[in-house]
């Protein structure tokens, strides 16, 4: 099992099987990552992997449509497109505000 910490949601910690989709885990465990479409079309689920970026899978083409190369360098990903293979800590902006 991998451990996912939802920093913005009071540091809530949940366990999930390896290769779990980050947004699906957030929905199932009430992690709180905001979303609208869930399919990589809107970019609403942009989040920051604050620890454990190396435990996520490769960046997907849909993410490249919404995020810039410098975003990826800082650790930003789209939760709906990200699969987790080890422990991570993730944060995001509340709905209605934009991450830089």
pLDDT at position 3 is: 98
DSSP string, 48-79: EEEE-GGGB-PPPHHHHHHS-HHHHHHTEEEG
Mean pLDDT, consecutive 10-residue segments, the chain of 100 residues? 98 98 98 95 96 98 96 97 98 67
pLDDT at position 86 is: 98
| Contact assessment for residue 78 and residue 46, using Cβ atoms and an 8 Å cutoff | yes
- Rounded to two decimals, the pTM is 0.93
pLDDT at position 40 is: 94
Spell out the domain ranges in the chain.
2-91
How far does the chain reach from its first CA to its final CA, in angstroms? 32
pLDDT at position 97 is: 52
CATH topology (fold) of 2-91? Ubiquitin-like (UB roll) (3.10.20)
Nearest-5° angle of CA 23, CA 8, CA 11? 95
């Amino acid at each position: 099992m991998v451990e996912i910490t939802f920093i913005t949601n009071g540091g809530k910690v949940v366990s999930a099987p390896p290769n779990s989709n980050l947004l699906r885990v957030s929905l199932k465990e009430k992690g709180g990552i905001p979303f609208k479409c869930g399919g990589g079309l809107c970019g609403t689920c942009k989040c920051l992997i604050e620890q454990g970026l190396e435990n996520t899978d490769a960046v997907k083409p849909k993410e490249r449509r919404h995020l810039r190369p410098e975003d990826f360098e800082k650790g930003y990903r789209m939760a709906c497109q990200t699969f987790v293979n080890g422990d991570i800590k993730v944060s995001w902006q509340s709905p209605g505000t934009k991450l830089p």
